[in-house]
Amino acid sequence: MTKARDVMHAGAVCVGENESLLDAARMMRDHQVGALPICGENQKLMGIITDRDIVLRCLAEGKDPGATKARDLAGHLHCVRADDDMETVLRKMEQHQIRRIPVIDNERLVGMISEVDLASGHREGQRLTDQQILEFMDKMYMTQ
């Protein structure tokens, strides 16, 4: 049975809770990602921030991205455990309509799973079945 650890992109880079949104945006640019986990001083996962969050919840509201901290945008966190099966991962992503989900092990971030990771695994003929991909796409995009 395929587990979250088999599909995740390992070694996700965290933005520190006290780093600015400007720093977060630069990290996203440098690592060519659209989301970053937010980690606290103890390296525990606090949330996730997306490029869209920065635009809508900071810039569009007239806030200063250099003065706004990553922790200010850390909302409710949805994550999965490294040993969760892919049915659990897909169900959580579908239920909460999220396109990226952090993977934890012993309460520490170990990776991220994105739609790209799901598609890449499918394209390579492993990890997810055609039916799983079709159901995921239908629940994420056709019900809106």
List CB contacts of 121: < 8 A, sequence separation 6 or more.
6, 7, 127, 128
Q: What phi-psi label fits residue 72: left (phi over 0), alpha (psi between -120 and 50 degrees) or beta?
A: alpha
Strands (E), 40-123: 45-50, 80-81, 100-105, 108-114
Predicted confidence (pLDDT) per residue in 40-97, tens digit: 887 788 899 999 999 999 999 999 999 999 999 987 889 999 999 988 999 999 999 8
Q: In the predicted model, what is the mean pLDDT of residues 93-114?
A: 90
Range of the domain at 118: 4-142
Number of domains present in the structure of the chain:
1
**Is 70 exceeded by the pLDDT of residue 124?**
no
Q: What is the CATH number of the domain that holds 53?
A: 3.10.580.10
What pTM does this model have?
0.82
Does residue 65 sit in helix, strand or coil? coil
What is the average pLDDT value for the chain, to the nearest integer? 88
